[in-house]
Amino acid sequence: MCDLAAGTGKLTRLLVPSGARVIAVEPVPEMRLQLEAAVAGVEALDGTAESLPLDDASVDCITVAQAFHWFDYGRALPELERVIRPGGRLAVIWNVRDEEDPLVAAVTEVIAPFVPPEQGVERPWRAPLEASTAFGEIEHRAFPCEQLFDADGLVERVASISWIARLDDEARNGALESIRKLGSARPAPFSFPYVTETFVCERLPKGAN
């Protein structure tokens, strides 16, 4: 199994107890160091979705958590096809905010003016994946989950969003102050709900489509 774009290993550390041999692939050296420190004994390799450091048909499954939208699909999909054995699986995983929750909806309203245009496209990776003849029908499942925060924790969570962190000081501080007010109005700890979405498809044998 390969955990691709593994980052600091948040998903990797959950895969290792399954008993499968897990290889983490991550291009950023600093993230690989954190991953190796957090997940004892894991094999962490330098590589990208467009140039995987793995042999042909060498893994049964590739997982990608919160990163598929960064890939160059025209180059990455053939690499995924090359590395996953026929009959193996590609699993794309996302945690998304549960917009039906009032607090989540209020946070979204605060940060919506700062969302980059490319982030506003829902699942931009899905069309290229569905158009690929290498992968079968996508099976989708969703699972509710939550984080518990106080006001400081909620501010830290929103501040960690890359496009919030890149704002100028005035805009970022103004947005985070609005988030702090939302958190301070609730007794701590309070729930901030998410939905974990999984999208799984089979690597088809050549000529199956």
Q: Tokens standing for 201?
A: 């498809």
Measure the CA–CA gap between 195 and 99, rounded to whole angstroms: 9
- Written as one letter, the residue type at 135 is F
Q: What is the pLDDT of residues 149-203, one digit of tens each?
A: 999 999 999 998 888 999 999 999 999 999 999 999 999 999 999 999 999 999 9
Measure the CA–CA gap between 4 and 46, rounded to whole angstroms: 10
Query: Stretch 99-107: mean pLDDT, rounded?
Result: 96
Predicted model pTM: 0.85
Q: What secondary structure does DSSP assign to the chain, as a single string?
A: -EEET-TTSTTHHHHGGGTS--EEE-S-HHHHHHHHHHSTT-EEE--BTTB-SS-TT-EEEEEEES-GGGS-HHHHHHHHHHHEEEEEEEEEEEEEE-TTSHHHHHHHHHHGGG--GGGGSS-TTHHHHHH-TTB-PPEEEEEEEEEEE-HHHHHHHHHTSHHHHTS-HHHHHHHHHHHHHHHHTSPSSEEEEEEEEEEEEEBPPTT--
Q: What is the pLDDT of residues 23-67, one digit of tens each?
A: 999 999 999 999 999 998 899 999 999 999 999 999 999 999 999
Average confidence score pLDDT of the chain: 93
Measure the CA–CA gap between 135 and 39, rounded to whole angstroms: 30
- pLDDT of amino acid 22: 96
The structural domains of the chain, ordered by start, are 48-202 (3.40.50.150)
Strands (E), 21-150: 23-25, 43-45, 59-65, 84-97, 139-149
Strand partners, 192: 147
Measure the CA–CA gap between 149 and 157, rounded to whole angstroms: 9
